[in-house]
Structure formats: structure tokens, C-alpha cells
Amino acid sequence: MAQPTSQFVVPASIADSVPSVPGLPLLGNLLDFRRDRLALQDRAARIGPIVRVTIGPIPFYLVTDADLAHDVLVEHAAATRKSAALKFLTPLLGDGLLLAEGAPHKRHRKLLAPAFAPRRLAAYGRVMVDETRAQVARWRPGQRIDLAEEMMEMTLAIAGKTMFGADVRGDASTVATGLELAMRAVVANISSPIRLGYRWPLPRHLRMRRAVALLDDVVYRLIAEGRKLGTDRGDVLSMLLLARDEDDGGSLDDKQVRDEVMTLLLAGHETTANALTWTWYELGRNPEGLARLTEEVRRVLGDRPVTTDDLPNLPYTLAVLEESMRLHPPAYMTGRELLRDVTLGGHRLPERSIVTVYIRGIHRRPDYFPAPLSWQPERMLPEAKKLRPRHHYLPFGAGPRVCIGAHFALMEAQLALATMVQHARLRMLASHVTPEPMVTLRPRGGMPAVVA
Ligand code: HEM
């Protein structure tokens, strides 16, 4: 019989001082984890700034303190690598930027950075507005929509055009199915007490293989089309295809380009879609916020299309997005594995420990954000931000692995939200939607709305 992997079992004597969430012998907190991961993490967050949660044989140190999170992600970055849980994404993302480590990570980051430079980003703005208008133009008064699905389709179309210079709307359902299968396989793996490699033909592993096959079809086609054109069209894909390695002058092969493209597709589309979906959820619950947002958009833009030059004049629009990402951070947690012993919050954690930074928990601390469950965009306006330590808010992570697409995402979300306010009237149907913690934080069962 297969043995559970034991490499993460931490010698009890070392990290014993860390308080833990009471659990069952052998299983630890596994059942609670499977039942409701967010509730378990919220419970841990109430115990202390660093708390041990045990899933079968594997202990996780859950951090819900901004200073400790800073220690893990920034100060001790060199003593960490991405946690094993994320490695379940390897069949999907290969050695792309999200999973790469050490020197290859530095090289990839340098390679991709120019694609996210401010000047380049400005050129994407027009596409973001056009694709939002195209999405909204398909809605008819009285139509019932799933806003979550609509936002996924829209951000995929934007990613396709800006990053890959291609129209991928026709591929939206294939990509959605592929990502859905892959996310479910990853979550099933993380929640299993026995972690087996993907070569074992378990149903969840077969799901992952199917997902990869579906997505590979789309991505390799994009690459083939890009290679045929052979010119820099201003998108990330053509830049990758033309890139030369600084050291050996070699170019990236199809598999390397595929890993980067898949990473950007996954990291860049579902996250932004979720941010917009949760924003509309909160606007539905807070009519006075929607009224103030509408007033700002009307005053600054009237009926003309928004451009990137308008963004500094739309501070409330940005605040609405940022406050929604505080309560519902699409990347609600991130994990690191320690490469050597590290002292965190006075506790010595041994090499190989897994530390989970619970971003959502940090964003909901009453000492950082008074009345934390109440949605108040005013606290994200520039004057209020100045009064707060920056690291209390970290929807894009921090340190050397901070989100490379943060500016891209904020720009996209701000342009899309302003455009939607101008061209769509939505009545949100659900006053209470449960979050579903997949790899990102999604609304469980979608986000129903009616076009007014
Ligand atoms: C609202 C939207 C987004 C959110 C909330 C978000 C959040 C994050 C977070 C928290 C991380 C750090 C993960 C960690 O520390 O382990 C990250 C990394 C990353 N994000 Fe984003 N992201 C968003 C949009 C985007 C977009 C639009 C792109 C690309 C176009 C992107 C590409 C990436 C990549 C490639 C990484 C890995 C960076 C590295 O390891 O060096 N993200 N993102």
C-alpha cells in the first residue's frame, strides 16, 4: 500500500510552542479542512498570529499577522520556496513564472518584466475597454446572467488579445472547462491525506490529464500562430517567441513558451474576473456605494470611453475595487516551504515546514481594519491609505514573488468597472454568496444578476 509522504512531518519538539487548532489523532484537522477550509482558517486566525493546522500528517503554520507575513514573504524570502501544495499545479504550469524557483525564476521574471512595464501597459488599455463593451453589448434588458461566468469570459478575451495577440473568445468554454477540471484536481490533491504523484491513475489525476490536454490544444495553437507571424505585435507571446537568453543567446522552445503562456492565462484571468465579480456583489449590497461610483464615472467621463489617462481621476472607482479585494481577495492565501530553520514570531520553525500566509485573514483583522466585515471604499482612498502601514493590505502578495501582473490587473479592473457602470445596469440577485476557496476565491454557484 502507498505510504503517505513523510517529508513534511516536523519533529514535534521544535515547533511545539506554536498553538494549534484542536484536532483528531492521526487526522488532525483534516475533516474540518475538507468540510470548510475557510472556516478552519478563520478559526485558526482567532487563536493567534501563527497557529498550527494539521492535515493528516502534514502541519501547516498559518500566519494571520501582517508583520509575520512580511517576514515570510520579504525578509526570509531567500529561505523559502513555493509550498508543495502549489506544486500540484506543475502539470498545468510547468516551469512558468509562478512555479519556477531560484535562478530560473529570476531569469523568467526579467524576461517577462518588459511586457508589464507602464508604457506597454498603457497600450493594452484600449483593448480592455473594447472587450468590456463587447461583453456588455451582448446583454439584453431582463436577461438573467451569471456575472462570474461573464467576467471570466471577458477577462479571458482581454488576456487573449493583450497577452497573446489572439481572439480567444471562441475558446472560452474549452479554457473554462480545462481550468475548472485542473482546479478541482489540485484541491482534491491538497485535501487528501495521502499525496501521490500524478503518475498514479486516480480519478483526480485523470481529470488533471484531461485538463492539460484541453488547454494544451489552445495554447500550442496560439504559439504556432505566433511563430508563423514571426514579428513583435506588442503582446507578451510575440515577445517571448523573439526573446534570447542573455547567457547562451538561445531562444525559448515551445514547451518553455507554453509554460509561461499557461501561467499568465491562469494567473491573469481568473483572479481579475473574481475581483470584478466580488466587486459587483458588494455594489449590489451597498447601493450608496454604487451611487457614489456612478456619480464619479459620470462626472469624469460623461458618455465618452474611459482611457488610461482618466484613471488618476477615478479614485473612488479604484477604492471600490481595492476594498472588495480586501474582503474577498482572489488569491486568498499563499504558501511557502522553509529551506532552513526560521524563527517566526518567537517560534523556531524547522526546515521543510510549510507556512501559509492567510491573506484574507489579515485583511479581516479588526485591529488593521476597524469593523472589518463592513465594506467601506473610503478606507482605500489615498488619504486613509497614508495612515495605515502598507503591508496590512496584500492582495498581490509581497517580496520578490509579488504579483507581476498587479498593475495590469488594477488597470484592467478599473477600466472595466468604469465601462460597465457607463453601459450596464445590473440588479444583483443574491444578497449572500458563499465563497468557494479553489485556487482562487470564487463565488460558490456563481453570481446571479439581472440586466435592468
Ligand atoms: C486581481 C487580480 C490578481 C490578483 C489578486 C493576483 C494575486 C497574486 C498574488 C497574491 C501573487 C503572489 C503569489 C505568491 O506569493 O505565492 C501573484 C503572483 C503572480 N501573478 Fe498575480 N494576481 C492578479 C492578476 C494577475 C495578472 C493580470 C497576471 C498576468 C497578466 C498575473 C500574473 C502573476 C504571475 C506570473 C505571478 C507569479 C510571480 C512570481 O512568482 O514571480 N496576476 N498574483
Q: What is the CATH number of the domain that holds 157?
A: 1.10.630.10
CA of 395 from ligand 1 middle (Å) equals 9
Q: What is the pLDDT of residue 311?
A: 97
Mean pLDDT of 239-265: 84
The residue among 115 and 258 whose pLDDT is bigger is: 258
State which ligand 1 atom lies nearest to the alpha carbon of 400: 41
The residue among 113 and 372 whose pLDDT is bigger is: 372
Instruction: Domain of residue 125: give its range.
Output: 12-451
**Does any domain span residue 78?**
yes
The residue whose C-alpha atom lies closest to atom 19 belonging to ligand 1 is 403
pLDDT exceeds 50 at position 47: yes
CA of 405 from ligand 1 middle (Å) equals 6
pLDDT exceeds 70 at position 93: yes
pLDDT exceeds 70 at position 65: yes
Query: Percent of the chain beyond pLDDT 70?
Result: 96
pLDDT band at 175 (very low <50, low <70, confident <90, very high): confident
CA of 357 from ligand 1 middle (Å) equals 15
CA of 270 from ligand 1 middle (Å) equals 10
pLDDT band at 14 (very low <50, low <70, confident <90, very high): low
CA of 280 from ligand 1 middle (Å) equals 21
The residue whose C-alpha atom lies closest to atom 11 belonging to ligand 1 is 403
pTM, two decimals, is: 0.92
CA of 265 from ligand 1 middle (Å) equals 11
Mean pLDDT of 99-128: 88
CA of 310 from ligand 1 middle (Å) equals 25
pLDDT band at 252 (very low <50, low <70, confident <90, very high): confident
State which ligand 1 atom lies nearest to the alpha carbon of 408: 27
**Does any domain span residue 2?**
no
The residue whose C-alpha atom lies closest to atom 27 belonging to ligand 1 is 268
Give 247: exposed, middle or buried? Use CB within 10 Å, 0-12, 13-18, 19+: exposed
State which ligand 1 atom lies nearest to the alpha carbon of 440: 5
pLDDT band at 90 (very low <50, low <70, confident <90, very high): confident
**Does any domain span residue 264?**
yes
155, 264, 403, 410: residue to mutate for ligand 1 pocket, most atoms within 8 A of CB: 403
CA of 269 from ligand 1 middle (Å) equals 10
**Does any domain span residue 164?**
yes
CA of 404 from ligand 1 middle (Å) equals 6
pLDDT exceeds 50 at position 13: no
State which ligand 1 atom lies nearest to the alpha carbon of 329: 5
**Does any domain span residue 27?**
yes
Note the pLDDT tens digit of each residue in 283-324: 999 999 999 999 999 999 999 999 999 999 999 999 999 999
**Does any domain span residue 38?**
yes
The residue whose C-alpha atom lies closest to atom 17 belonging to ligand 1 is 403
Mean pLDDT of 143-163: 93
State which ligand 1 atom lies nearest to the alpha carbon of 274: 1
Query: Percent of the chain beyond pLDDT 90?
Result: 60
Q: What is the pLDDT of residue 182?
A: 84
Q: What is the pLDDT of residue 248?
A: 72
CA of 291 from ligand 1 middle (Å) equals 31
**Does any domain span residue 5?**
no
The residue whose C-alpha atom lies closest to atom 21 belonging to ligand 1 is 403
Lowest mean pLDDT among 10-19, 156-165, 277-286: 10-19
The residue whose C-alpha atom lies closest to atom 39 belonging to ligand 1 is 401
Q: What is the pLDDT of residue 61?
A: 96
pLDDT band at 358 (very low <50, low <70, confident <90, very high): very high
Q: What is the pLDDT of residue 110?
A: 87
pLDDT exceeds 70 at position 379: yes
Q: What is the pLDDT of residue 415?
A: 98
State which ligand 1 atom lies nearest to the alpha carbon of 263: 35
The residue whose C-alpha atom lies closest to atom 9 belonging to ligand 1 is 396
The residue whose C-alpha atom lies closest to atom 43 belonging to ligand 1 is 403
Q: Comparing C-alpha atoms, which of 229, 219, 305 is closest to residue 255?
A: 219
CA of 141 from ligand 1 middle (Å) equals 35
Please provide the average confidence, as pLDDT, over all residues in the chain: 89
Note the pLDDT tens digit of each residue in 380-409: 999 999 999 999 999 999 999 999 999 999
Instruction: Work out how many domains the chain is built from and give that number.
Output: 1
Q: What is the pLDDT of residue 114?
A: 83
Q: What is the pLDDT of residue 367?
A: 96
Mean pLDDT of 24-42: 90
Lowest mean pLDDT among 5-9, 92-96, 199-203: 5-9
State which ligand 1 atom lies nearest to the alpha carbon of 264: 29
The residue whose C-alpha atom lies closest to atom 41 belonging to ligand 1 is 401
CA of 198 from ligand 1 middle (Å) equals 25
CA of 22 from ligand 1 middle (Å) equals 33
**Does any domain span residue 7?**
no
Q: What is the pLDDT of residue 272?
A: 97
Mean pLDDT of 129-140: 97
Q: What is the pLDDT of residue 375?
A: 98
Residues with CB under 6 A from ligand 1: 97-98, 109, 263-264, 267-268, 271-272, 275, 330-331, 334, 395-397, 401, 403-405, 408-409
